[in-house]
């Protein structure tokens, strides 16, 4: 299990461990939930919250410094609340998986236990700082942190048991994979008219004049941008008038990726592309050509193509989808156990948890 790479300073609530029995039976002064009396601490919740935050920011193509992201809505709900719900779900799933693992007599191996202890015994200064930052952010002092990692390791043992012995419960069908591919992905080729590199423009300007008037410089920049827009409009008109799009990519395109990826870019709505490009791509109909789309890179003219049905890129995407759908089915399996156990959630603590 990976240590969190991103941490944000958050004041620590009291989380004091008194005893440990089995996977999750320990008494704390601050719990956020429990499953059949097995406590999930606020510190554990914050640990999962930091992991979820990192995943959500990565998927959205955002950085931790962009705090406005957490106020935005995702399917009608604030991103901050989505993150908290995901973190709580994950913490509960780990606890349920631990229970199931214990029922099967599964245990954390000696090697895994040694690896967990080595994390904290390491003399690496960078790793020590990382652990300190996690403790500051979450409240996971060393003993509780070890227990949290041990629980994760045991939960992973149960996941391995399912994949090896009851794979039919979590293996997606080819129909499921194809349906997800067709609904979630697009294939795009584009012509990029790049904005002028500002550093190069500044260097050029400094050669022609010793002192540049800021207003004149801004006007010159806008004039160059207008030239780029005019060229992009011209290319879009040619494309819509029937000029072969690949010819326009070759003649005008300034994205090296189009040369190395002649089939275009096949991607999901997951933040892997800049937001404006992604939004425009998913708004297109089949074979439709977009008006120039402005991003920080320049102006893009996009065309939507049928999805690939063979080849290396296609197989990679299918494998990615298979793994994603398998994880979804596994989560659904664990969630189905909730009905068999008494789960209590301290909603007031969850609601007050800070995401920013």
pLDDT in tens, 174-196: 999 999 999 999 999 999 999 98
Does an H or E element contain 10, and which? Answer: none
Give dist(CA 146, CA 24) in Å, integer.
12
For residues 200-213, give the mean pLDDT.
53
Across the chain, mean pLDDT equals 88
- pLDDT at 204 (0 to 100): 52
Pairing mode of beta strands 298-305, 293-294 = antiparallel
Same domain, 132 and 244: no
Number of domains in the chain: 2
- pLDDT at 1 (0 to 100): 32
Identify the CATH number of the domain in which residue 282 sits. Answer: 3.10.50.40
24 CB contacts (<8 Å, ≥6 apart)?
35, 38, 39, 40, 95, 98, 151
- The reply to whether 313 falls in a domain is no
- The reply to whether 70 falls in a domain is yes
Structural domain for 330, as ranges: 20-165+321-352
Same domain, 150 and 39: yes
Adjacent-strand bridge partners of 268: 185
Same domain, 69 and 161: yes
Same domain, 281 and 196: yes
194's tokens: 């790049």
The residue behind tokens 């913490």 is 91
- pLDDT at 270 (0 to 100): 85
Same domain, 30 and 156: yes
Same domain, 268 and 207: yes
- pLDDT at 23 (0 to 100): 52
- The reply to whether 301 falls in a domain is yes
The candidate with the shortest Cα–Cα distance to 338, out of 97, 79, 30, is 97
What percentage of the chain exceeds 90 in pLDDT? 76
Q: Which band of pLDDT confidence, cut at 50, 70 and 90, is reported for residue 212?
A: low
Same domain, 220 and 256: yes
Same domain, 94 and 131: yes
Same domain, 242 and 210: yes
- pLDDT at 87 (0 to 100): 97
Residue pair 238/248 in contact (Cβ under 8 Å)? The answer is: yes
Same domain, 98 and 152: yes
Give dist(CA 226, CA 290) in Å, integer.
18
Residue pair 334/97 in contact (Cβ under 8 Å)? The answer is: yes
3-class DSSP assignment, residue 253: coil
Q: Could you report the per-residue pLDDT of 26-62, keeping only the tens digit for each?
A: 434 489 999 999 999 999 999 999 999 999 988 877 7
- pLDDT at 62 (0 to 100): 79
Q: Could you report the per-residue pLDDT of 239-298, keeping only the tens digit for each?
A: 999 999 999 999 999 999 999 999 999 999 988 899 899 999 999 999 999 999 999 999
For residues 133-144, give the mean pLDDT.
93
- The reply to whether 239 falls in a domain is yes
- The reply to whether 106 falls in a domain is yes
Rounding to the nearest 10 degrees, give the CA dihedral for residues 149, 151, 156, 158: 170
Same domain, 136 and 186: no
Identify the CATH number of the domain in which residue 42 sits. Answer: 1.10.4030
Chain centre distance of CA 169: 26
- The reply to whether 271 falls in a domain is yes
Q: Could you report the per-residue pLDDT of 70-119, keeping only the tens digit for each?
A: 999 888 999 999 999 999 999 999 999 999 999 999 999 999 999 999 99
- The reply to whether 9 falls in a domain is no
- The reply to whether 310 falls in a domain is no
- pLDDT at 307 (0 to 100): 98
Give dist(CA 240, CA 257) in Å, integer.
23
Same domain, 278 and 223: yes
- Give the pTM: 0.79
What percentage of the chain exceeds 70 in pLDDT? 87
């Amino acid at each position: 299990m990976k240590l969190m790479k991103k941490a944000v300073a958050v004041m620590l609530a009291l989380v004091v461990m008194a005893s440990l029995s089995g996977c999750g039976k320990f008494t704390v002064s601050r719990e956020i939930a429990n499953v059949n009396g097995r406590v999930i601490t606020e510190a554990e919740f914050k640990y999962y919250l930091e992991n979820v935050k990192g995943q959500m920011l990565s998927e959205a193509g955002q950085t931790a410094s962009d705090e406005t992201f957490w106020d935005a809505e995702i399917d009608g709900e604030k991103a901050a609340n989505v993150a908290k719900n995901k973190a709580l779900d994950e913490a509960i799933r780990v606890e349920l998986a631990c229970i199931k693992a214990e029922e099967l007599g599964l245990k954390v191996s000696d090697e895994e236990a040694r690896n967990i202890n080595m994390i904290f015994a390491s003399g690496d200064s960078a790793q020590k700082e990382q652990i300190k930052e996690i403790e500051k952010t979450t409240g996971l002092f060393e003993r509780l942190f070890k227990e949290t990692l041990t629980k994760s390791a045991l939960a992973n043992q149960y996941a391995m048991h399912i994949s090896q012995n009851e794979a039919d419960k979590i293996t997606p069908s080819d129909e499921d994979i194809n349906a997800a591919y067709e609904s979630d992905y697009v294939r795009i080729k584009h012509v990029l008219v790049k904005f002028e590199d500002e550093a190069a423009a500044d260097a050029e300007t400094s050669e022609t004049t010793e002192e540049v008037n800021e207003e004149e410089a801004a006007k010159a920049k806008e004039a160059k941008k207008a030239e780029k827009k005019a060229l992009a409009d011209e290319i879009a008109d040619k494309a819509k008038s029937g000029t072969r799009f690949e010819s326009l990519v070759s003649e005008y395109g300034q994205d090296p990726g189009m040369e190395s990826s002649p089939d275009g870019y096949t991607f999901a709505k997951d933040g892997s592309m800049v937001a404006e490009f992604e939004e425009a791509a998913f708004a297109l109909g089949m074979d439709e050509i977009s008006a120039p789309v402005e991003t920080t890179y320049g102006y893009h003219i996009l065309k939507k193509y049928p999805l690939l049905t063979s080849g290396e890129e296609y197989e990679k995407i299918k494998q990615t989808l298979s793994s994603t759908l398998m994880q979804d089915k596994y989560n659904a399996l664990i969630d189905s156990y909730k009905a068999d156990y008494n789960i209590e959630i301290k909603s007031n603590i969850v609601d007050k948890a800070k995401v920013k």
